[in-house]
Every structure is written in C-alpha cells, then in structure tokens.
Structure 1
C-alpha cells in the first residue's frame, strides 16, 4: 500500500469513482469494519483505491483502478482477472467476484469486487521500517507451498522481460567487479510484487495480482528479501524460511534482478532508504556467484 496521493484532485476523483462503483456493483461502504474506522488502501500515486464494503457476497473489498483511456489495456489492466482464471486456489488470495469497467472523458476505470481478506497486511508499506510481526511456522510453510503451486502455472503473461535485464542490469550493477550476467538459467511464474504490504497474516493471503507472470526462477523470494533488507532481523528470517529458493544459483541471479529494479526505482524517488543495504547485498551475492563459478570451473578441469 501507499499513502494518499499528494494531489487532492486525484484523491477526490478516485473517491468519487469508488462511490460510483458501489452503485454499479450493488455494494455499500462498510462503515464499521473489524478493527475500527473505515480503511482506505491507496496504490502507487493514487492509481488504485480499495475500501471495505458489504453486499450480496457478504463482507467484501472494492478496489478501483484508474488508467488514462489510451493505456487501459495490457498486463496490469487484466492481471487480477487472469489470476482468477489461471492461478490454482491452493495459492491463497481473496476471490474476485465481479468486475465493471467504465470511462469518464479521458479516464478509464475498473472496479473489482473481492472477498475481504482474512486478517491484515503484515506491513502497511512494502519495505517495513521495523521487524515484521512474528509469523508462525505454518504461515511460512503456506507461503512456500503457494510459491511452489504458482511456479509451474502456464501463462503468456510476462512479469520481467529479458530485454529489460539486458539493458538494466549492466547499468545499475556497474559497481560490481566484473561483467554481470543477464540471462537466467530458468524462468517460472511469479506473483511479481511479493512484498509485505501484499501479504496478510496471521492467515496467509497474497494480494494485488496486477503484475503476475513469467520471471527469473526465485524472483518472488528474492523480491521479498530485498524489501526486507533494511531490517536485518526480518531479512534473516526470509533467508532462513525461503532458503530453498534463495540459496541457489537461480536464487542469487534473481536477487541481482530485483536489486537492479529497486535501485532503478530510486530515480523516481522510491526505496531511497534501501540503497546502501541493496548495494552491499549485491556485492555479497556477486562474490558468492563468482566463487561458485570458479568452483565449477575447477571441478570441470580436475
């Protein structure tokens, strides 16, 4: 989740669209949801707005997505609907019941009515500023199972493109000692935005399926670790619980991929506080990757 957009006109426009969507879908704002006052969940720069609602499906969550009219198509626009059709139910997430699209001038909107998630997001922000709440062994087991179920899903959706890796990794990892590889050994299907504000507890739920698709193997685990890296205790827990994904050649390459993406995001003002830790982690991963490469070479000629 993000904070309310700085532009009051954007906030007012999205709230108005949410009210209109309630009318379209026969829902009503839930003025007394569990936990107190009505919550608003904003997406990046006001692109989305979610609120608790009630209606024929019971307690729900109504999310509004905005796009300029000429860009209301493609991967991000259809992600939740595609996930509802293709991602197995063993991957825990709120069910999507209804979708409604409409336009107002040069603006396109989509309303998505979901089941309300059980529990709360683990963190209000993708990168927690303090250690995340204690999560049970069952929660971590469920996360590993969910990622294993998602990985083999067949889709033509793409979360990370090879052309991006070829272009961005040499640029944003230029501080490493040597040419950086840009070709993963393996690809698999990923959520594509697995961070702490998209995970719920104490019962696991995975939210926001806009950007899911094919990515380098281990991508989701690497992304969760990268967003945790500013809190060493949390990062260490991720490494322990997801070691089967991270402690491998594929996992180390995936870490370099997500570090590239987060370092690039700094150019638009995001994740600035993570930069020192990301650069240090990239050096650690690079040293391990280089050492493994030398070991393989030595075994080859032994």
Structure 2
C-alpha cells in the first residue's frame, strides 16, 4: 500500500470512481464518504484505491484500478483475473467475485470485488513497520506451502525479464567489485510483489495479484527478506523459516536480483532507508556465491 496521493485531483477522481463502482456492483461502502482513517488502501501514485464494502457476498473489499484508456491492456490489467483462474486455492488469497470496467474522460477503470480478508495487512507499507509482527508458526508454514504451490503454476505471464537482469544487475551491483552473473539457475512462477503490505495476518492471505508471473526461482522469498532488513528479528526469522530457498543457489541469485531492483527504485526516492542494509546483504550473498563457485559462471 502507498499513502494518499499528493495530487488532490487524483484523490478526488479515484474516490469518485470508487463511488461509481459501488453503484455498478451493488455494494455499499463501509468507509464513509472520504474513506476514513485506516479504511483506504492506495496504490502507487493513486493508481488504485481499495475500501471495505458490504455486498451480495457479504463483507467485501472493492478495489478500483485506473489506467489511460489506450494502456488498459496487458498483464497488470488482467493479473487478478488470471490469478483467479490459474493459481490454485492452496495459495491463500481473497476470492475475486465480480469485475466491471468502464471509461470516462480518457481514463479506463476496473472495479474488482473481493471477499474481505480475515485480519489485516502485516504492515501499512511494503517495508516492514512499525514493529516486529507476532506471526504464529502456522503463518510461516502456510507461506512456505503457498510459495511451493505458486512456483509450480504454468503461465505465459512474466514478472521479471531476462533482458532486465542483463541491463540492471551489472549497473546496480558494480559496487561488489566483480562480474555478476545475470542468468538465473532456474525460473519459476512468483507473485512478483511479495511485501509486507501485501500479506495478511495472523491468518495468511496474499493480496494484489497484478504483476505475477515467471521470475528467477526464489524471487518472492528474496523480495520479502529485502523488505524486512530494517527489522533484524523478523529478517532473521524469515531466513530461518525460508532457509530452504534463501540458502540455495537460486535464492542467493534472487537476492541479488531484488537488490538491483530496489537500488534502482531508491534512485527515484523509494525506500531510500533500505539502501545501506541492501548493500551489506548483497556483499554477504556475493561472498557466499563466490565461495560456492556460482559467481564465476
């Protein structure tokens, strides 16, 4: 989740679109006319807005997505619907019930009505804050199994492209002081945006399936670990719980992929506070890869 957009016009337009969506889908907002504190979930730069609602399936969550009309295609536009059809229910997530699209003033909108998740997001932001979450052992076990089931899904969707790895990894990992491999040991299917604001607890749920698809194996675990680096106890717990992934050749490569991505996004001002920890972790992973011989491949 992100904060409310800085542009008041975007805020007003998205809230208006959400009201329109409620009418289309026959649901009533539970958040009040302006969302209410803690009752709105904004996407990056106001591209999406979600609010709790009540409708024909009981308590729900209505998410509205905006795009320019000529760009309302492709994987980000169809991701949740594709996930509903292709990702098995062993990967816990709110069920997508209804979808409605419309256009207005050069913008395309999509309304997605989900079952309401049990519990709440582990963190209000992708980076874990404000405290170490008291997640039960069952949550971690369910996460491990969810990643196993998801990795086996067959899809032609792509979350991370080889061309990006070839371009970004040498640039953003130059501080490691040696040639960095850019071809992953293997590929598998990933959520693609597995951070703490997209995870529900204390009963596991995985939200926001826009960008899922193939990625270097271990990508989801590596991304979640990177977003945990500001909370040492949780990062250590995650390394323990997902050690089968993160301690593997695939997991170490995936951590370098994620480091490249987050260092690039930090140049745009995103999560700058993670940069020192990302660099330290990348050096640790790099040394282990070299000791294992992977860095020379």
- Decide: shared fold, TM above 0.5: yes
Residue 80 of structure 1 corresponds to 80
Deviation at 1:31, TM superposition (A): 4.5
Deviation at 1:131, TM superposition (A): 3.5
Residue 18 of structure 2 corresponds to 18
Deviation at 1:287, TM superposition (A): 0.5
Matches within 5 A, 1:1-302: 1-31=1-31, 39-293=39-293
Alignment size in residue pairs: 294
- Does the CA-based 8 Å contact 1:121-1:200 persist in structure 2? yes
Give the TM-score normalised by structure 2: 0.96
Deviation at 1:38, TM superposition (A): 6.6
Deviation at 1:2, TM superposition (A): 0.6
Question: 2: distance between equivalents of 1:168 and 1:294?
Answer: 19
- Look up the SS of the partner of 1:224 in the other structure: helix
- Does the CA-based 8 Å contact 1:131-1:233 persist in structure 2? no
Q: 1:295 to 1:289 in 2, by over 3 A?
A: closer
Deviation at 1:132, TM superposition (A): 2.7
- Does the CA-based 8 Å contact 2:290-2:296 persist in structure 1? no
- Look up the SS of the partner of 2:91 in the other structure: coil
Stretches of structure 1 lacking an aligned partner (at least 5 in a row): 298-302
- Does the CA-based 8 Å contact 2:31-2:40 persist in structure 1? no
Question: 1: distance between equivalents of 2:13 and 2:185?
Answer: 45
Question: 1: distance between equivalents of 2:114 and 2:129?
Answer: 29
Deviation at 1:127, TM superposition (A): 0.4
- Does the CA-based 8 Å contact 1:38-1:52 persist in structure 2? no
Question: 2: distance between equivalents of 1:202 and 1:103?
Answer: 38
Question: 2: distance between equivalents of 1:277 and 1:38?
Answer: 29
- Look up the SS of the partner of 1:59 in the other structure: strand
Q: 1:63 to 1:295 in 2, by over 3 A?
A: closer
Deviation at 1:148, TM superposition (A): 0.4
Q: 1:158 to 1:294 in 2, by over 3 A?
A: closer
Deviation at 1:71, TM superposition (A): 1.1
Deviation at 1:267, TM superposition (A): 1.9
- Look up the SS of the partner of 2:109 in the other structure: strand
Question: Which 4+ stretches in 1 moved above 3 angstroms?
Answer: 294-297
Q: 1:31 to 1:250 in 2, by over 3 A?
A: closer
Question: 2: distance between equivalents of 1:122 and 1:50?
Answer: 16
Question: Deviation digits for residues 236-291 of structure 1, max 9, x if unmatched?
Answer: 11101100110011000000000100000012210100000001111110011001
Q: 1:126 to 1:295 in 2, by over 3 A?
A: closer
Question: 2: distance between equivalents of 1:38 and 1:269?
Answer: 24
Question: 2: distance between equivalents of 1:93 and 1:161?
Answer: 25
- Does the CA-based 8 Å contact 2:122-2:201 persist in structure 1? yes
Q: 1:174 to 1:125 in 2, by over 3 A?
A: same
Question: 1: distance between equivalents of 2:228 and 2:93?
Answer: 22
Deviation at 1:129, TM superposition (A): 3.4
- Look up the SS of the partner of 1:61 in the other structure: strand
Stretches of structure 2 lacking an aligned partner (at least 5 in a row): none
- Does the CA-based 8 Å contact 2:181-2:296 persist in structure 1? no
Question: 2: distance between equivalents of 1:294 and 1:68?
Answer: 43
Q: 1:296 to 1:174 in 2, by over 3 A?
A: closer
